[in-house]
Amino acid sequence: MDFVTQAKKMGVRSLLLQGLTFLSVLTSAFMIWKGMSLFTNSESPVVVVLSGSMEPAYYRGDILFPGQRTFGDRGWRGGGDIPIVHRVMKVHTERENGKQFLLTKGDNNPLWIQRDEIVGRVKGFVPYAGMGTIWMNDYPQLKMGLLGTLCLLSLFSNE
Amino acid sequence: MTATQQTNSSGRVVVNTSNLSELKTTCDNSLKEFLKSKGYDEMHTHTDVKLILGYVGVIFCAIDFAYSWKYPFSQTKWFSYISVSIYAITSGLALLYSYLVQRDTFFVGYNKAKGHIVSAGSSTKRNEPVYRLTLTTRPIRGRQDPPVFNSKPLEVRRPFATWFYEDGEFAGDKFQQEAAVAVENLLNKKAE
């Protein structure tokens, strides 16, 4: 009941304003990410490398940026929820319909993947910058703690 | 409401005199109270515009989030273009509104009985403990126009020390006396 009385005292507008301040933290983060997605024309504009399978090129904790899809030696496959990075070893072009199949290193299945399954090509990378994401995945309390801190800070700031 | 402002049971307001923003906010709130007590009802146009722009952006963001969560990227791309654009536009407009229209206004009050609207804005310069108050007024026209003021503003510039004791206590009544004088000057100027 205390929250309700306090809320009434503050007025609806004040509550809405505070709500907006808090929400704009979340929405601007999402919109920036979406904007980058649209710009790079790929589902996930930025990806953190989670495993060590791409060493010595990419280590655990690197962030990768996809570019436009062209030939490249590191293709990036969107299969399921998490994009996977593979090295493209061979390209096979069907003569009839021009469909291209790529064989990537590290695929567990013997099938070649189709070109349109490729989400993007790794254009650049920032080493170690993704460690934060890995820690947050390994320790979910960290993620909750960070989110909670951000919310509290936005509620207490004065304009 | 600053979290660090303290009003204890006797009604004394004590602030940190080194914090310029606290000093300004205290004076702003006191002026607001003064004007409200003189029959000026607060007009929330500035706040409302920003709220509407903000929430439109939030709504589109929420819809886009839900849509792209459920369906793959290539399918939802078209909507994402729309929602990102709308979000950018509303955010941009809100920012422009804040800088160009609202500026440093913290209170707009309309007095139906007297038939005019008073707008109060204040600012401080870094490292300068001076309260710069700008008051403008305009008559209430037939319909509620956007609060853009044409009359020449009345500017009052006083050091904060005029109303604050050394320990940070705010001399509210002294401030309100000077505020009354300022508002009267404003309204008399208008009548000339």
What phi and psi, each to the nearest 5 degrees, are found at residue A109? -95, 150
For residues B73 and A43, is the Cβ–Cβ distance under 8 A? yes
A8 falls within a domain = yes
**Per the CB < 8 Å rule, is A34 touching B80?**
yes
Query: What is the rounded distance in angstroms from the CA atom of residue A17 to the CA atom of residue B25?
Result: 18
Where is average pLDDT lowest: B44-53, B82-91, B166-175? B166-175
B44 Cβ partners below 8 Å, 6+ apart?
A13, B108
Closest CA to B132 of B31, B63, B5, B10: B31
Question: What pLDDT digit, counting tens, does each position of A81-125 carry?
Answer: 455 666 555 555 444 444 455 555 555 555 566 555 555 556 666
Q: What is the pLDDT of residue B49?
A: 92
pLDDT tens-digit readout, B132-150: 998 888 877 765 544 445 5
B9 in helix, strand or coil? coil
What does the pLDDT read at residue A79?
A: 46
Query: Does any CB of chain B come closer than 8 Å to the CB of residue A93?
Result: no
- A110 prior amide bond cis, ω within 30: no
d(CA B181, CA B173): 13
Q: In which domain, by residue range, is A26 found?
A: 1-39
Cα of A90 to nearest chain B Cα, Å: 26
Token pair for residue B127? 């490292």
Per residue in B78-128, pLDDT tens?
899 999 999 999 999 999 999 888 888 899 888 887 778 888 899 988 888
Query: Model confidence over B63-88: pLDDT tens digits?
Result: 999 998 888 877 888 899 999 999 99
How many Cα atoms are found within 13 Å in the side-chain-facing hemisphere of A42?
Answer: 27
* Min Cα–Cα distance to chain A from B73, Å: 6
A104 lies in a domain?
no
Task: Look at B87 and A27 and tell me if their CB atoms are within 8 Å.
Answer: yes
Chain B residues with CB-CB distance to A31 below 8 A:
61, 83-84, 87-88
CB atoms within 10 A of CB B102: 19
Question: Which helix (H) or strand (E) is B122 found in, with range?
Answer: strand B116-125
**A99 belongs to a structural domain:** no
Number of structural domains (chain A) is 1
Instruction: Report the DSSP pairing between strands B6-7 and A118-126.
Output: unpaired
Distance (Å) of CA A32 to CA A38, A54, A152, B47, B87? 10, 28, 22, 25, 10
Contact A60, A98 (CB under 8 A): no
> Which site among B58, B74, B84, B106 would you substitute to test the A interface, given the most A Cβ atoms closer than 10 Å to its Cβ?
B84
| CA neighbours closer than 13 Å in the CB half-sphere of residue A159 | 10
C-alpha dihedral sign at B81, B86, B91, B93: positive
Chain A positions touching B88 (Cβ under 8 A) are 31, 35
Q: Which of these, B48, B3, B12, lies nearest to B173 by C-alpha position?
A: B12
What residues form DSSP beta bridges with B7?
Answer: B13
Chain B: residues touching A (Cβ < 8 Å): 1-3, 21, 25, 44, 47-48, 50-51, 54-55, 57-58, 61-62, 64-65, 68, 72-73, 77, 80-81, 83-84, 87-88, 91
pLDDT tier for residue A75 given thresholds of 50, 70 and 90? low
Listed range (A18-32, A112-126, B170-184) with the worst mean pLDDT = A112-126
